[in-house]
A and B are shown apart, each in its own frame.
Chain A
Amino acid sequence: MKALRYLARNPVSLLGVVILLAFVLVAIFAPMLAPPQSFQLSPYDTPRAGFLATPMPPSPDALFGTTQGQYDIFYGVVWGTRTAFKIGLGVVAISVLIGTVIGAVAAYYGGLVEEVLMRIVDVFMAVPFLIAAMVLTALLGKGIWPITIALTTFGWMSYARIVRSEILRIREMDYIHAARAYGASDLRLIVLHILPNAMFPVLVLATMATGSMVLSASALSFLGVGTEEGYADWGQFIAYSRNWIVGQPGNPFQFWYTLAFPGAAVFLFVLSWNLVGDALRDMLDPRHSH
């Protein structure tokens, strides 16, 4: 109820929720919107209309046109929605889990344990991300699983830091002192009282990060360590537009569709998660209510 009232008052946030819901619907109904053909090995393999490199403009056969290598942009954008959710939610969920456990353990035990754990955080912070991603590709091949591992390896540290500092902050608050005075055990305190409160900023951060994971994945595609060739993934489709963003002299936007459709998908996805993240923060944090 509170959420609905908030949304009614904030049309921009409402817009964010609507876009996000639209993406959810596209993801769910992908098989109807862009039905895979029977000979496809996997629905995520974008069908290609031949092997010509030069993109083709939108036509009745390919609503959004075809990108480099004649991959159908419409199909890629539709099924790419699922990929975006998989990567975004997958990476963020795993990162939050690891980060929370490490941050909580560090804050709970303190002392040497905290010191060691936080230095481990430092080491992971210093791992050059690119290199980790490229070695993983060498080991595991391309695909969303290696991408998820790479992004997670690089992404959990900030959650650990936040959870730790939030726990340290909340632990000193009055109501926790009171609970401790009543004899509640530390573990019970952490799990039941401190952690839930510490999770608010994590939740907000995670919401925003979900959108941006798609961006990181597309940077990986640019560097050649993204998803498999032809895999329905927005980042990969934007990477396909790389050579075609600048058209011929006299007609510089000849291949606009190669960038515009997957680009718009990424933009709206990131935008919606951001708006939703802002809304969540306003709603969850009592200090922020007007």
Chain B
Amino acid sequence: MLTYALRRLMMLPIVLFALSLMIFALQMSLSPTQRLAAYAPSPDYLKGGQESIRRMIEQYGLNDPFYIQYGRWIGGVLTGNLGWSETARQPVSTALMSLFPATLELVVLAFIPCLLLAVFLGSRAGIHLNRWPDHVIRIFTILGWSFPVYVFGLLMLLVFYSALDWFPPGRLSQWAQTTVSSGDFVRYTGANTVDAILNGNWAIFLDSLRHLAAPVITLTYVNVASMTRVMRTSMLETLRQDYVRTARAKGLPRRVVELKHARRNALLPVATIAGMELAVMMGGVVITETIFDYAGLGQFAAKTAANLDFPAVLGFGLYFAVVLVLMNLIVDLIYPLLDPRVKTQ
């Protein structure tokens, strides 16, 4: 298991290289004028007329052949420079690094309840197969799944912001922002909750939780569906396994069997899916971030894609690939801990 995981890790540079070539090829399939749109994202920028358009294409080297442009980029990457993002108005690496804590904070806070809920609901549904708890849970999760996220997001805003004024959008209130921006508040990590604790500022801690609550609830509900499904199916499988039947036959109480033995074994496929799901969420929860005005990686990625801002797109692609591989590695590593049958050698 471990060697397999390490081998995958060693393949990472090759995957990254292939990925960058592929995205670059996608980019180069656009014409120079199309690629200029990253620097001139609206007609306003081109009011200088055709002559100035040609000068801009020259300025950014958009007419150069593939290998020169790719060489320029890869040369930068090898010296640790991922290039400049016109969309973010900052270097790609700076943008990724400053957005990462925000997204991590949101995703982790949403992922934990999501996982617990999925395990709970999934095993419940599996135990009560084809009876009303199963039906209710299935409908509940499919409901969460079949509407686009923004439907729930907007309803959450309506209820918890507009009507109750509990959970406002954004990351911080204006007063808290003023404090955070002032020199007195040290930004250790960029994740507001953590920084507030480290600074011992509880007012800001609560304020940032208030802002996180609504997107967290939304993300939990929307993502719980697929994990619950996997948990339910896996629970069904396990309950039919011989050893579970044996345990029941030996006279162990039903609840003990279901919860102690079956659920534990049923967790394995959930771990895989959960790892993937977490990785995908780390790649950005675009719509949630947009609705709740939460500046994170997802909004950034969507905006760079819309603007065809390729340095940022490439940087984001590399980041995402690394997250995926790491997440697979983590899942591989915790697998033996979950599965009594797989022994660490």
Contacts and interface: CB of A to CB of B under 8 A. Distances in A.
Q: Tell me if chains A and B make direct contact, with any CB pair below 8 A.
A: yes
Contacts of A131: 23, 26, 301, 304-305, 313, 316-317
B158 interface: yes
Interface in A208-233: 211-212, 215, 218-219, 222-224
Interface of A: 10, 12, 119-120, 122-123, 125-128, 130-135, 138-139, 211-212, 215, 218-219, 222-224, 235, 238-239, 241-242, 245-246, 249, 252, 259, 263, 266-267, 269-271, 274, 281, 287-288
B20 to A, nearest CB: 10
A210 to B, nearest CB: 13
A246 B130 contact: no
Please report whether the interface of chain B is mostly helix, strand, loop or mixed according to DSSP.
Answer: helix
Nearest to A239: B148
B305 A119 contact: no
Interface in B301-345: 301-302, 304-306, 308, 313, 316-317, 320-321, 324-325
A211 to B, nearest CB: 8
Contacts of B11: 119, 122
Contact of B320 (A126, A215, A245, A271): A126
A277 to B, nearest CB: 10
Given A119-B14, A222-B287, A134 B305 contact: yes
B143 interface: yes
B146 A130 contact: no
Interface residues of B toward A: which range? 35 or more
Contacts of B30: 135, 138-139
Nearest to B129: A290
A270 to B, nearest CB: 4
Nearest to B152: A245
5 contacts: A12-B135, A122-B15, A126-B19, A219-B149, A235-B148
Contacts of A212: 145
Interface in B132-146: 135, 138-139, 142-143, 145-146
B147 A263 contact: yes
